[in-house]
A and B are shown apart, each in its own frame.
Chain A
Amino acid sequence: MADAQPAPSIDTPPLVQVDQLKKHFPIRQGLIIEREIGSVKAVDGISFSIQRGETLGLVGESGCGKTTAGRTILGLYPMTAGKVLITGISLENATKEQMKLFRRKAQIIFQDPYASLNPRWTVSAIIGEPLRVHNLLPNEKARDERVHELMLKVGLSPRLINRFPHEFSGGQRQRIGVARALAVNPLFIVCDEPISALDVSIQAQVVNLLEELQDEFTLTYLFIAHDLSMVRHICDRVAVMYLGIIVELAERNELYENPLHPYTQALLSAVPIPDPKKDRERRRVILSGEIPSPINPPSGCRFHTRCPVAIEQCKLDVPEWREITPGHWTACHLVTNQ
């Protein structure tokens, strides 16, 4: 429901709750016996929550950890630290049964329409797999009917049910991926850059589909993307990631119209606007340098090495994550000092 603001329900707990999530990938070295000499701190302590029916955008550039975060939240990568609570199931110490239930409640759509479908399986098998794994329907006939229904829901002709992925276009394959995710009637779907690999004219088709489905089934989305224009369009709230942490989180219009963190400001100013007059008029913040390595993040505020307004304090102290105005959070010394 990207048109309306979600009703603030203080009483109902959020559907998704993530607390200080960390995911580090160890780097090992050694001939016979491998020792850990360091780690890639892909996700280094992020926290957020998502209400039912809401779409939270998670944006950032390559290497910021957003894709890792999405996968770790679904338990596809074991987490290094932190808590994840989705529909009441806590990932930390979930039993096998709980995990099975979890897999029905939380699903994922992938970025690459070519790698996310098994090239040897028919559409019927791909969309039907979740039904088979969870034994949701009594027999194959019932499963086929459900697959039929799902294909119609995502805008694919059911006549194609026995075709193979290579016979479809990128946009159609993404629809197959969406149908697969929907098969188990999930509550929460992680959309991991679902449109980045598609042509512009197809992106709008898929985004509209996701919104329609959200309206119909009251789905909750974590929308991971690097396309800030699309994120503004589809998300209710947006979190900005940099080098493994969230640097700003706000309601979408608030974030785009009043960005507080210098990185967010730079990011927004770098996004090209398809309007030459407006583009010429605006103020650009061009960042210098490259993204530091996540193996050794900079001290203090991670962004200080590239920040155009960094002060001495930024090198030394990690800025505190604070709510500056209601619903608008950021971690920046300059903002806090005001």
Chain B
Amino acid sequence: MARVSRLGLLVLLLLAVMASIAAPALAQEAEQIGGRISSEGEGVPGVEIGVATPDGEAVGVGTTDENGEWSVELPASGTYRVTIDTTTLPQGVELRDPERQELEIRVSEGASATALFALGEREEAGSILGQRLAQSVFNGLKFGLIIAMTAIGLSLIFGTTGLINFAHGDLVTLGAFLAYIFNVVLGLHLVIAGLIAVVLTAVISGAIDAGLWRPLRRRRTGLISMLVISIGLAFVIRHIVLFFFGGSRRPFNDYTLQIAMNVGPVRIQPVEVWVMSLSVLILVGVALMLTRTRLGKGMRAVADNRDLAESSGIDVQRVILSVWVMGGALTAVGGIFLGMIESVDYLMGFRLLLLMFAGVILGGLGSAYGAMLGSIIVGLVSEVSTVFFSSQLKYVWALGVLIVILLVRPQGLLGQKERVG
């Protein structure tokens, strides 16, 4: 397949070159696409811009004059694909947003349309590799900490009940959505709204265990059946949120307009500092709780060997309920934090779910520490990949890690080997 597509690309390229030679001769007075390429107010001459139909058939190539202006005549109205050849840009000048190297422009009959390519430094990070790397490591840590918080519950639920909870991502969405209601709709401050949302999500999560999963466990429903039921539950939660919230992305009211500070090579918003420090505090708190408290020891004991735990007097059902309540609270915190640094939308949790799976399997299914470690690695991988590859593919790299770890070490980094059949 790879060879076929490469061959196809070559053919397309040849066609494009041939068409671009032929096109100017055929040009008539008609629709056109044009624009001005400038850097710090000065026109940039000698930049080549290719225009093609959506099918990839080249229409023409424009070159900027001394004022940085260019235009390409079009055969008819319609949609065209305009690409700037970045290799023709002078040294030291590059696109502000490398993703916008190619634009889709609609030209109506008899009109001339403008294609805008903004040059200059990228807004988010500098052009130097080291600086971008530092920024992406920072972003990766931030993202990884959020995945870690949500993934602990997923891992502990699996450890204590054997269930892979496909509805876990939608608890993240639910937490963020509830916080949005109290913050934006009812006008409470985000800190208060967030606390209410965390408590509510924890209660709902506990109620789901007591009302749905415990009766199913009592009926000895198979794990695969429960897994499919959790998907049904995920659908219900996700689309109830969609019904009330709509499909758009929305920010919270507070902590949105913030001025970034430069800390060494990295640009940091104050809200990110808060989110990250709180995440670390919460993760340390959970770790301490798991090792020092009676309940935490009970959780680990049930995850390790349920029958042994039960026979040594641990109330397994109560421990499982606490795992659900704690997991629910943590997912809500993760959802709110994610909503603070990005925005709230009904698919945010589902997108996170696949990354949680990657983190949990990387760290070792059933282990809380493994979930933390694996999630942070997944966050780092997905963000650092954007330095070298398109940011559209950042989840692909994170999910690729999942498949690689299953190939080489299926029990995960911190998992025990005999867990896996």
Asked whether A and B interact, the reply is no
Q: Give B contacts to A, CB under 8 Å.
A: none
